[in-house]
Structure 1
Amino acid sequence: MTGALTAERILDAAEDTLRRFGPGKTTVVDVARSLGVSHGSVYRHFPNKAALRDAVAERWLQRICVPLHPVVTEDGPAAERAWRWLWLLSTTKREMASNDPELFATYYALASEIREVVSDHLETLTELLARIVADGVRRGEFAVDDPRETARTMLSATTKFHHPAHAAEWADPNLDREFETVWELVRRGLETR
């Protein structure tokens, strides 16, 4: 083993191991073997297999949020930012599915089993989008009573474009046009009357 064993190195190795064996067959021993350490060394960083799997899924879900954060804090019309934020959420997941379909499927299977991690991710997405909606309300662009509930509804309305359960539909050549149609309905619902 070269370098100190860190949580990040373990997570990298776990990701590689999951890619090779899938979530059903990957064990802590497999991850440790790929690092050239004992499984006890892995357990010093993650108390059990479930904690390691949670950390792997959480890290993957955090990657999805990276391009979304800057859009929240930009200046500019809230409607344009909300569109761009939803578009980035959609295209980021589509790129992940396209660039590494085996790992994407593995992460989806893993995340489906880890309800708390997924719930936390959805709360993060809701909070980020709600900040854009609230800014739109402050600017007089949007007429909504509850930015958080509105953000949650916007995520529900656009589920087809970003939820991994719909990944098989993402190759549809009409998907971008459909996104624009759904966005237009959402935008009209947000605007001041």
Structure 2
Amino acid sequence: MGAIEDTRGRILAAATAQIHRHGHVKTTIADVAKHCGMSSANVYRFFPAKAALVEAVSEIWLSVTEDLARAIAIRPTSASQRVRDYIIEVHELIRDRQTTEDEVHETFVAAATEHWPCMAEHEKKLAAIFSSILADGVRSGEFQIDDVEKTAFVMRSALMKFHSPVLVAQFYGESLVEQAADLSDLLLNSITKR
């Protein structure tokens, strides 16, 4: 790793620690710079504004969900099982962050409600991964779908209660895993080849 990448990594690590401790609203460039033992001007060389730094940290956090979704998509199981796993495991990851990492959740809620570019990119990646599972099911003859992209969009829209940080928080305490499993059965029933 070069000096520039190392410095950028140190800044991101410090920002992550500060956001975990104080939240993204209270974290300042000065706090991050102090944590790194450098000037605020040096942090601004890498991130032109606090928003850019918070978004970069958010991208790292969002990549955890993307990595999980990718891992599910390539499992050597049926497409139906991968759809079910995607629905439930992505929900559980978001739920666990809601209950154990308040500042991470707060940042995700802000990213979602304020339409940060990193959240839009994240949603595109998840949509492509989910579509790839459906396309695998069509190729294998397991699913009957005329328009994979449209079907993926509709199915993912139906899953918002389980995958949106805002809604997971709102409905927290309900039996969401069981509801997600029931919804996955309903959705799969609608696309399974007979």
The alignment's TM-score, normalised by the length of structure 1, stands at: 0.89
1:111 CA displacement: 4.7
| Structure showing greater relative contact order (alpha-carbon pairs closer than 8 Å, 6 or more residues apart) | 2
The alignment's TM-score, normalised by the length of structure 2, stands at: 0.89
Q: What is the match of residue 50 of structure 1?
A: 51
Q: What is the match of residue 105 of structure 2?
A: 104
Q: What do residues 85-137 of structure 1 show as CA deviations (whole Å, max 9, x unaligned)? A: 11111111111122212332233224533432111111100000100000000
1:17 CA displacement: 1.6
Segment drifting more, 38-47 vs 14-23: 14-23
The 1:158/1:102 distance shift into structure 2, 3 A limit, reads same
Q: What is the match of residue 80 of structure 2?
A: 79
Retained in 2: the 8 A contact 1:57–1:111? no
Q: What is the match of residue 17 of structure 2?
A: 16
The 1:51/1:66 distance shift into structure 2, 3 A limit, reads same
- Normalized per residue, the structure richer in helix is 2
Q: What is the match of residue 190 of structure 2?
A: 189
Q: Which runs of 5+ in 2 are unaligned?
A: none
1:148 CA displacement: 1.8
Retained in 2: the 8 A contact 1:161–1:170? no
SS in 2 for 1:67: helix
Segment drifting more, 130-139 vs 162-171: 162-171
Distance across 2 between alignment mates of 1:111 and 1:14: 20
1:51 CA displacement: 1.7
Number of residues of Structure 1 aligned to a counterpart in Structure 2: 190
Q: What do residues 134-167 of structure 1 show as CA deviations (whole Å, max 9, x unaligned)? A: 0000111111112122122221111111111112
Q: What is the match of residue 176 of structure 1?
A: 177
Distance across 2 between alignment mates of 1:124 and 1:55: 16
Distance across 1 between alignment mates of 2:150 and 2:71: 22
Retained in 1: the 8 A contact 2:84–2:181? no
Retained in 2: the 8 A contact 1:78–1:136? yes
Distance across 1 between alignment mates of 2:115 and 2:8: 19
Distance across 1 between alignment mates of 2:108 and 2:188: 32
Distance across 2 between alignment mates of 1:178 and 1:159: 12
The AA in structure 1 aligned to 2:170 is A
State the Cα RMSD in Å: 1.9
Q: What do residues 5-42 of structure 1 show as CA deviations (whole Å, max 9, x unaligned)? A: 52222112112222333322322112111222101221
Segment drifting more, 106-115 vs 175-184: 106-115
